[in-house]
Amino acid sequence: MHGHGDTRRHLIRGLSASERRTNARTQHLHRVRRGTYVPTAVWDSLTQRERHFLLALAAVGDQQRTDCVLSHVSAAVVHGLPVWNLPLRQVHLTQPSRTGGRILSHQVLHSAPLEAADTSEANGALITSPARTVVDVARTAPFEQAVVIGDAALNRGLVTRSELDAALAHARNWKGIASARRAVAFMDNRSESPGESRSRVLFHNHGLAAPHLQASVFDEAHALVGRADFLYDDGLIGEFDGKVKYGALLNPGETAADAVIREKRREDAFRELGWLIIRWMWDDLNRPLILVRRVLQALSRARAQRRPSGLWVPA
């Protein structure tokens, strides 16, 4: 995936009438929005998220009103937050008024109060602040998608819990605020990926006890064995395997194969201490009942065996 800065540099504005006529014939440039273009070959190579990023920047530049800011899922994209399973066809903007919102095929214009603390600037565009963005998404999007974005914002230090609480208080009488409060209360800075966030939501929705997140496990000599994505007191460690994890967490000079071997040794060390290990992947999250059954069966097996030796410390 291209970085946001790399993607932004492909925007071309201000074509002359002659250049537009030439492009109508050659189609070398893709029209992102009126007056804004991107080389067609570049556009064809972009992900849906990257295309939305460019559409969002183009929409801000095209607004006649300069007080409109990117908001909701569009602000989340510009902030670099994961927007799992959220529609990206329409760019979302907010104008600082109580009326006048409208929905078009390519754009949603929201009307809501905007204070200075509610806005920030990124990639040359005015957007809602991280806290306001998380709360706006949590008011308008399903619980699971909101938690994915909020967990990431907290984990990356883009927002604090107190900033989210302040944003909730500011929006206390707005539509969807009850949903936002539920989602924000469930958000956790210890979730390190959308897959881990979705796993937490899945377990919560099916009544499983909340596991400890990112707990550090030590052996009997008090040496650190590793951290566990999900840890249950009964002696079970759950690991979400997102595949990209090995490439993303390489140590200096390490190959992906080295990372896989390191991960296997870590798991073996857990097992030697008496921990039962269960793993799941993205596809498993799409079969929730099967995954929940696997976790419950693993918990039952863990309770039936000896307690792990060593100790663990919550994050």
CATH number, position 304: 3.40.960
Which of 189, 220, 243 is at the close of a domain?
189
17 and 84 belong to one structural domain? yes
- pLDDT at position 66 is 72
266 and 232 belong to one structural domain? yes
62 and 93 belong to one structural domain? yes
Q: How far apart are the first and last CA of the chain?
A: 31
pLDDT mean for each 10 residues of the chain (315 residues): 67 93 96 94 96 94 76 97 97 90 92 94 92 98 98 98 98 97 98 97 97 97 96 97 60 74 90 97 96 98 95 94
138 and 280 belong to one structural domain? no
- pLDDT at position 263 is 84
13 and 158 belong to one structural domain? yes
Which of 189, 205, 232 is at the close of a domain?
189
Q: How many domains does the chain have?
A: 2
- pLDDT at position 63 is 61
124 and 255 belong to one structural domain? no
Rounded alpha-carbon distances, angstroms, from residue 233 to 106, 173, 238, 314 = 49, 40, 12, 11
166 and 225 belong to one structural domain? no
Q: Is residue 12 a contact partner of residue 54, using CB atoms and an 8 Å limit?
A: no
103 and 225 belong to one structural domain? no
- pLDDT at position 143 is 98
Which of 168, 189, 210 is at the close of a domain?
189
The model carries a pTM of 0.92
270 and 207 belong to one structural domain? yes
287 is in which domain, residue-wise?
197-313
205 and 70 belong to one structural domain? no
